[in-house]
Amino acid sequence: MMGPHWWYNRFRGWGYRLTIPRQAILEILSKSDKHLSAEEIYLEVHKEYPSIGLATIYRTLELLVQMGIVNKFDFGDGRARYELAEDSKGPKHHHHLICNVCGRVIDYRDFSEEEKNFFESLERNLSQRYNFEIKNHQVMFYGICDKCKGK
């Protein structure tokens, strides 16, 4: 239900092993509230486990994305960024505002009830209309952030 247990069962359910490197990576991801790149994760993991290689970071992230534990994003800075999709308290779903000028990424999760309901019903509608099973979605708004507006 929480922490390691939860991960452990999830891995077993998929027939995967819960190894040290995988735990270390999940540990880092769950401690951070940022959008980490593979290399940033590698550097963090490396502090505790210097023997874990970058290739394992990439392989593990790919796995976690497949399992739906982690979300992968492209914010346009030339590298993929990763975020835990949920924590012990439940999903951390949110949308993004991305500044075209400075590249800043703002998370917003203060959804209105209306917004929440809208996306739910939209997903149901699309699933039917296109016979497409929707697992998740990403919403990004592009523009100019407050800091960059002042010229």
Partner DNA sequence: ATCGCAAATGAGAATCATTCTCAATTGAGA
Partner DNA sequence: TCTCAATTGAGAATGATTCTCATTTGCGAT
Buried b (16+ CB within 10 A) or exposed e, 79-97: ebbbbbbeeeeeeebebbb
Binding segment toward Zn ion, per CB under 5 A, in 12-20, 81-89, 92-100, 122-130: 92-100
Site for a copy of itself in 13-52 (CB under 8 A): none
Q: Among residues 31, 90, 146, 151, which is the contact residue for a copy of itself, using CB under 8 A?
A: 146
Nearer to DNA, 134 or 140 (CB): 140
Name the binder of 102 from DNA, a copy of itself, Zn ion, none, CB < 5-8 A by kind. Answer: Zn ion
How do strand 80-84 and strand 86-87 relate by DSSP bridges?
unpaired
Three-state secondary structure call for residue 126:
helix
Three-state secondary structure call for residue 111:
coil
Nearer to DNA, 14 or 108 (CB): 14
